[in-house]
């Protein structure tokens, strides 16, 4: 009898353990909690782990500081590409929130890597800037921009891709196979030379020409590399080039938006389905979409997506004049853009990478 009781007790504990493990592996329904409840639970978690959201990107630093100052939430980040972020979500549940390029949003959903949180600002975010189920939300957009080191280069600062084609400096655009920034640059050059999302041949021709001429720097476009004088002409988003310029006093750097090929693309906030700190991640997204968070992004030159936030004039005056990107092509079809970027990734790996080695 005692033996039977022991066996039954063990079975009960085993079933309870399995149930607990299953419950632990499932994401919480963040939308079922009030903001006050999310704040309390986030404070209890005490910290949030992000990927691909370093202080120098789009002025995330001010928002992380604001989250800590207001709620006591500590933060750490590991910078990486969009593809690497999603791989981290899949393999490491200690990572809570990320910021991926528009082209990677469908991949995040298809691989069941993200969970929903719609924030209290949901209604003031345009439809194109959010997944209908809240699995991703775009807080800001930026446009393709140049950052040029006048001390390293003998040619004039380029104002167009046509100028770039005639230059002699190397181009740094970052990872194209797995990075949203590099893929966006390739799309921009398609428009610059007469193509579009459905005709990438002009871009492929241009980048093949640059590769054969030895004008592509295979390194990433990072602040540390710019400060070290390793980037002659970099191409990134408007909010990055302004930050890079202002953080590099040891070189004369000029920034500008190409007149003949620039696109406006957003990066999407994604919360890991396996997050250890889901409430802190939800509160981080809440803060990013708040007036303070949107203004922090605008300080770096990003264009906030919320339609009812007022950006102070002094910030507008210190970033890009809206007229400079008036002709930039807005990208809003996430699915189509993802397909195009996948084509670019495959083509670059097959045709450009071999020329760089």
Reported as a pLDDT band with limits 50, 70 and 90, residue 69 is very high
Judge whether 3 lies within some domain: no
Residue 10 vs residue 174, higher pLDDT: 174
**Quick one: which of 159, 198, 177, 180 has its CA closest to 267?**
180
Q: What's the confidence (pLDDT) of residue 93?
A: 86
132 and 280 in a single domain? The answer is yes
Judge whether 225 lies within some domain: yes
Q: What average pLDDT does the segment 277-284 reach?
A: 98
Domain limits for position 242: 142-262+321-356
Reported as a pLDDT band with limits 50, 70 and 90, residue 145 is very high
Q: What average pLDDT does the segment 218-227 reach?
A: 95
Is the confidence at residue 18, as pLDDT, over 90?
no
Is the confidence at residue 324, as pLDDT, over 70?
yes
Number of domains in the chain: 2
Reported as a pLDDT band with limits 50, 70 and 90, residue 321 is confident
Lowest mean pLDDT among 7-11, 81-85, 271-275: 7-11
Q: What CATH number did the domain enclosing 225 receive?
A: 3.40.190.10
CB distance 221 to 175 below 8 Å: no
89 and 107 in a single domain? The answer is yes
CB distance 209 to 287 below 8 Å: no
Q: What average pLDDT does the segment 69-98 reach?
A: 95
60 and 108 in a single domain? The answer is yes
276 and 152 in a single domain? The answer is no
d(CA 5, CA 11): 10
d(CA 268, CA 289): 12
d(CA 175, CA 181): 7
Give rounded-to-5 percent helix, strand, coil for the chain. Answer: 50, 15, 35
220 and 351 in a single domain? The answer is yes
Reported as a pLDDT band with limits 50, 70 and 90, residue 12 is very low
Judge whether 5 lies within some domain: no
38 and 112 in a single domain? The answer is yes
Judge whether 11 lies within some domain: no
217 and 340 in a single domain? The answer is yes
Q: What average pLDDT does the segment 48-70 reach?
A: 96
Q: What is the pLDDT of residues 286-320, one digit of tens each?
A: 999 999 999 999 999 999 999 899 999 999 889 99
CB distance 142 to 57 below 8 Å: no
44 and 97 in a single domain? The answer is yes
Give the sign of the dihedral formed by CA 191, CA 323, CA 171, CA 303. Answer: negative
Q: What's the confidence (pLDDT) of residue 117?
A: 98
Percent of the chain with pLDDT over 70: 92
Is the confidence at residue 106, as pLDDT, over 80?
yes
137 and 158 in a single domain? The answer is no
Lowest mean pLDDT among 23-27, 93-97, 150-154, 177-181: 23-27
133 and 228 in a single domain? The answer is no
Judge whether 18 lies within some domain: no
The end-to-end CA distance of the chain, in Å, is 73
Judge whether 1 lies within some domain: no
The alpha-carbon radius of gyration of the chain (Å, integer) is 22
Judge whether 49 lies within some domain: yes
Q: What's the confidence (pLDDT) of residue 7?
A: 39
Residue 256 vs residue 12, higher pLDDT: 256
Q: What's the confidence (pLDDT) of residue 215?
A: 98
Judge whether 21 lies within some domain: no
Reported as a pLDDT band with limits 50, 70 and 90, residue 6 is very low
63 and 81 in a single domain? The answer is yes
Lowest mean pLDDT among 12-16, 44-48, 103-107: 12-16
CB distance 331 to 102 below 8 Å: yes
Q: What's the confidence (pLDDT) of residue 13?
A: 39
273 and 256 in a single domain? The answer is no
Reported as a pLDDT band with limits 50, 70 and 90, residue 2 is very low
Is the confidence at residue 258, as pLDDT, over 70?
yes
CB distance 118 to 134 below 8 Å: yes
């Amino acid at each position: 009898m005692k033996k039977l009781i022991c066996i039954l007790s063990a079975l009960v504990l085993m079933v309870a353990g399995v149930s607990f493990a299953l419950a632990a592996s499932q994401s919480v329904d963040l939308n079922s909690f009030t903001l006050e409840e999310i704040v309390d639970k986030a404070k209890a978690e005490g910290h949030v782990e992000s990927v691909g959201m370093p202080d120098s990107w789009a002025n995330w630093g001010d928002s992380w500081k604001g989250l800590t100052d207001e709620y006591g939430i500590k933060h750490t980040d590991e910078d990486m590409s969009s593809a690497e972020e999603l791989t981290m979500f899949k393999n490491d549940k200690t990572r809570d929130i990320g910021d991926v390029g528009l082209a990677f949003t469908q991949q995040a959903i298809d691989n069941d890597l993200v969970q929903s949180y719609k924030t209290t600002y949901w209604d003031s975010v345009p439809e194109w800037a959010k997944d209908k189920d809240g699995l991703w939300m775009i807080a800001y957009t930026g446009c393709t921009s140049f950052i040029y080191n006048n001390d390293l280069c003998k040619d004039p600062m380029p104002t167009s891709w046509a100028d770039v084609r005639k230059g002699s400096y190397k181009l740094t655009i970052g990872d194209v196979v797995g990075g949203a920034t590099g893929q966006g640059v390739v799309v921009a050059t398609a428009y610059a030379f007469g193509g579009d999302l459905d005709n990438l041949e002009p871009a492929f021709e241009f980048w093949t020409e640059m590769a054969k001429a030895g004008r592509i720097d295979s390194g990433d476009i990072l602040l540390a590399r710019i400060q070290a004088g390793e980037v002659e002409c970099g191409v990134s988003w408007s909010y990055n080039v302004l930050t890079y310029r202002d953080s590099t006093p040891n070189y004369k750097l000029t920034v500008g938006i190409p007149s003949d090929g620039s696109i406006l693309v957003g990066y999407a906030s994604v919360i890991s389905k396996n997050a250890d700190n889901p409430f802190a991640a939800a509160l981080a997204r809440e803060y990013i979409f708040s007036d303070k968070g949107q203004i922090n992004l605008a300080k770096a030159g990003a264009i906030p997506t919320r339609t009812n936030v007022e950006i102070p004039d002094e910030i507008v005056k210190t970033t890009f004049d809206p007229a400079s990107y008036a002709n930039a092509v807005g990208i809003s079809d996430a699915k189509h853009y993802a397909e195009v970027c996948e084509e670019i990734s495959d083509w670059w790996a097959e045709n450009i990478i071999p020329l760089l080695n």
